[in-house]
Structure 1
Amino acid sequence: MALALHDTVRTRARTVERVAYVVAAVLFTSGLVHLVVLVASGATWEGPVSYRKAMTFGLSFGLTLAGVAWATSFLTVRRRNLLLGAFTVVSVVEVALVTMQVWRGVPSHFNFETGFDSAVSVSLAAGGAVIIVTVLGFATAAWRTPNLSPSMTFALRFGLVVLVAAMAVGAVMIADGVALARGGQPQLAYTTAGALKPVHAVTLHAVLVVPALAWLMRRTSWPERRRTRAIQAAALAYTLLIAGAVVVS
């Protein structure tokens, strides 16, 4: 009975992962399509209604969702299906709402001009809150999962902690932007929030880059101690990259 239940849980986990990977591929493809539209149309790359925004959201959410689905497959996470399922659904909602507003020719964030636009902005902020909760759940699990190699353990912990930082940066961007927009300064809201984009972008993808490096090193003949040191060096290099993004911001 216990074995059958375990097999059922594993089957459901694989199903949720497969759905996440498929959705990630669709979102990434959406980003590529909007890159083509942006280049072919000769439209501006700047501003809150540029096709660039639909492109970057599609590409970023596609990569992040795939990275989270893959990285968390190494972890022992209570209710992982629920967390990963919620992350997947919110990723779709975020990209869909941003893309819809781009095609409507109106800003997606910090836009309170109409009741509908306000609902979109609030929904995007609420989606960000859900993402923060799921990421915190995964990050906590990284300290509770046994039987992983030291190099992979360090990589997963680093990647997920940096992802939490990315979510914190996103929350600051939203909070500042909303306050300015509500205060009658929407253009300043876009400018202020946009200043943190480099930091947000760099921190967003550590969860894919560093664990992937640890996974690749498992294919080498290096002893575990050397692999761990290499991952620690990679984490330091990534931290310096983040610091550079902070300076740019």
Structure 2
Amino acid sequence: MRDVLAGAWSRGRRFERFCYGLAAVLACAGLFHLAVFAVDGGPWYGPVSWRKPATFGLSFGLTLAAVTWVTRYLPIGERGRALLLSVFAADCVVEVGGITLQAWRHVPSHLNRETPFDSAVSTVLAAGGGVLIVVLGVLAVAAFRPNPEIPASTRLGLRAGFVSLMIGLATGAAMIARGAAEVGAGRQQQAYHDLGFLKPVHGVSLHGILVLPALAWLSSRTSWDEARRTRVVAIAAGGYGLAIAAALAYSLLR
């Protein structure tokens, strides 16, 4: 595994290495805020918590690294891939940076219209979410284009991973939309309470883009034939789909 990671770094293009390095920085920022929480304490849940910069830093770091890796298998040109990854990487920094800034200011990051500055941060974060949907949506469409250059098991892992990721983005947008509706109705505190109503399914589905393509890659390192690898990935994708469905049911019924 160490040799594989070292090879991916050494053979990667400059923009890939930049994205991997930035992903490591974001993940380390998340771990740092876990340490801050351990020292400073405070609530783990709620709109003002060290949980937010910790989980967002780790999640965006892992997702940026995973997306950078899997896009190598997509049938898109290098210029287009470099542009999309650059926009995605910049957006990851903006999202994590805005959330971290507000955490250190001890104010909510999303849906916060208390002051003009807070409103500006909230607007930037919402706009950044829209950018995420567009960029990752383009990559998801590319994953479903015919690409005979990669094995069927890898294609399946990529496609299932992107479907899972898009579910994560859709649930994130739904949470923001519900919170915005509450704010528009003058129920600011209720908006903070309702914002995370889909958080379990959001968290599970976001990381399918890491789990399922990684499983396809691991199966390629075995002595199994391609038909068996594809069956294994299909079973795993089905299982992950059931996990998403269970998380959705829990989110709606709790």
The TM-score by the shorter chain falls in which range? over 0.9
Matches within 5 A, 1:88-167: 88-144=89-145, 145-167=147-169
In 2, the alpha carbon distance for the partners of 1:175 and 1:22 equals 33
Q: Deviations over 1:179-232 (max 9, x none)?
A: 112222122212222111111111100001000010011110000000000000
Deviation at 1:64, TM superposition (A): 0.7
In 1, the alpha carbon distance for the partners of 2:45 and 2:107 equals 13
- Counterpart of 1:23 in structure 2 is 22
In 2, the alpha carbon distance for the partners of 1:193 and 1:124 equals 14
Matches within 5 A, 1:66-77: 66-77=65-76
The one-letter code sitting in structure 2 at the alignment partner of 1:132 is I
Length-normalised TM-score, structure 2? 0.91
In 1, the alpha carbon distance for the partners of 2:244 and 2:165 equals 12
Measured on the aligned residues, the alpha-carbon RMSD in Å equals 1.5
The one-letter code sitting in structure 1 at the alignment partner of 2:85 is L
In 1, the alpha carbon distance for the partners of 2:87 and 2:175 equals 22
Q: Deviations over 1:83-108 (max 9, x none)?
A: 11100000000000000001001100
In 1, the alpha carbon distance for the partners of 2:245 and 2:143 equals 24
- The 3-state SS of whatever aligns with 1:191 is helix
The one-letter code sitting in structure 2 at the alignment partner of 1:136 is G
Does the CA-based 8 Å contact 2:36-2:50 persist in structure 1?
A: yes
Deviation at 1:43, TM superposition (A): 1.6
Of all paired residues, the percent bearing the same amino acid is 54
- Counterpart of 2:244 in structure 1 is 242
Where does structure 2 lack aligned partners over 5 or more consecutive residues?
1-11
1:221 to 2:226 alignment: no
Length-normalised TM-score, structure 1? 0.93
Q: Deviations over 1:35-59 (max 9, x none)?
A: 0110122221121110111111101
- Counterpart of 2:88 in structure 1 is 87
Does the CA-based 8 Å contact 2:164-2:208 persist in structure 1?
A: yes
In 1, the alpha carbon distance for the partners of 2:191 and 2:71 equals 34
1:44 to 2:46 alignment: no
The one-letter code sitting in structure 1 at the alignment partner of 2:220 is R
1:173 to 2:172 alignment: no
In 2, the alpha carbon distance for the partners of 1:183 and 1:117 equals 19
- The 3-state SS of whatever aligns with 1:194 is coil
Aligned length in residues = 239
In 2, the alpha carbon distance for the partners of 1:56 and 1:189 equals 20
- Counterpart of 1:185 in structure 2 is 187
Q: List 4+ stretches of structure 1 deviating above 3 A.
A: none
